[in-house]
Copies of this chain bind each other. A is one copy, B any other.
Amino acid sequence: MSVTVVGSIAFDAVKTPFGERERMLGGSAVHFALSASFFDDVRVVGPVGDDFGEAEYAVLRGRGVDTSDIEHVEGGKTFFWAGEYEYNLNVRRTLDTQLNVFGDFEPKLSAASREADVLFLANIQPDLQRQVREQCEGARFVAMDSMNLWIDIARDSLLETIKTVDCVMLNDDELRMLTKKPSLLAAAHDVMALGPRVVVAKQGEYGAALITEDGFFSLPAYPLETVLDPTGAGDSFAGGFIGYVAAHPGEAPSGQLLRRAMAYGTAIASYNVEEFGTERIQRLERSEIVERVSELQRITHFEDAPIELRA
């Protein structure tokens, strides 16, 4: 089967306390696609400008990603984002955002992209997300991301989009902001009341939580001595999570399947942050993913034992 992702294809300038890159391949659709490519066929939908060349296409094609729905806008410039992280890498500042070709983007999906079994609407304007959603009527599992900006300035449209998907993936702060509920669990239940059966709360260095009708599941991030650049971690996580679901067309996306999907997403995201941008994922080996999934099992496992508590 196959996964279609719509989202940003970008050049990023990133500065962290541990180094910087003035211009590197980035964007939500790129991080997602590289990660999902370990599981299934992936098609990327999004616009690029004249500055997006063979070197960039080669990164995606090197992992077997189908780039035929990447729209090249003649005379245009690719989306650009610049950001800086504090010593506490959980805190980041956006220094510059240049929409460029993304400003006039109207997603037009090829027949192949429209026939996706699984669809991921990465963080773009929610009207655009809904346009893509409507072109992929037959998808059996549709997930979406968003951000605080859209909760602020396009809340109604965002709620409309949420009603059309199976799975909402947001940072836990965004879930609280969207629902005005301080409890993550209460916030997730409010989102589920709109339609989605699955809510994933991304929690940065603390990992991620999964809320479904089967209950609550929590998985920590893989512990690392050194994190160089968190950019794209959330999208790498989403790529692993959604890719895992896509690779199991015969199984309902629930229960243990989604828990395993969380683990594969978490494993890939942990490699993403070890180096800048897509550098580490470009040379990631399958065996490395499997190894960290096993490690995640080990670091979360405990056995209970009978104990006589005191009255």
Interface residues of A (CB under 8 A from B): 17, 37-40, 64, 87-89, 176, 182-186, 189, 203, 205-207, 209, 215-220, 223-227, 244, 247, 256, 259-260, 262-264, 286, 289-290, 293-294, 297-305, 307, 309-311
Contact = CB atoms under 8 A, between A and B. Distances in A.
B302 A260 contact: yes
Given A183-B226, A220-B220, 4 more contacts: A207-B218, A217-B299, A218-B223, A218-B300
A273 to B, nearest CB: 11
Contact of A225 (B186, B207, B218): B186
Contacts of A189: 225
Given A307-B247, A310-B39, A299 B216 contact: yes
Contacts of A176: 88
B224 A302 contact: no
A302 B206 contact: no
9 contacts: A40-B310, A184-B223, A207-B218, A207-B220, A217-B300, A244-B307, A263-B302, A294-B304, A297-B302
Given A185-B225, A247-B307, A215 B290 contact: no
A199 to B, nearest CB: 12
A309 to B, nearest CB: 4
3 nearest CB pairs, A to B? A218-B220, A259-B302, A286-B309
A205 B219 contact: no
Most chain B CB atoms below 10 A, which of A189, A259, A310: A310
Contacts of A290: 309
A260 B303 contact: yes
A300 B303 contact: no
Most chain B beta-carbon contacts within 10 A, residue among A189, A289, A304: A304
A223 B209 contact: yes
Nearest to A294: B304
Contacts of A307: 39, 244, 247, 264
Contacts of A226: 183, 186
A64 B310 contact: yes
B183 A227 contact: yes
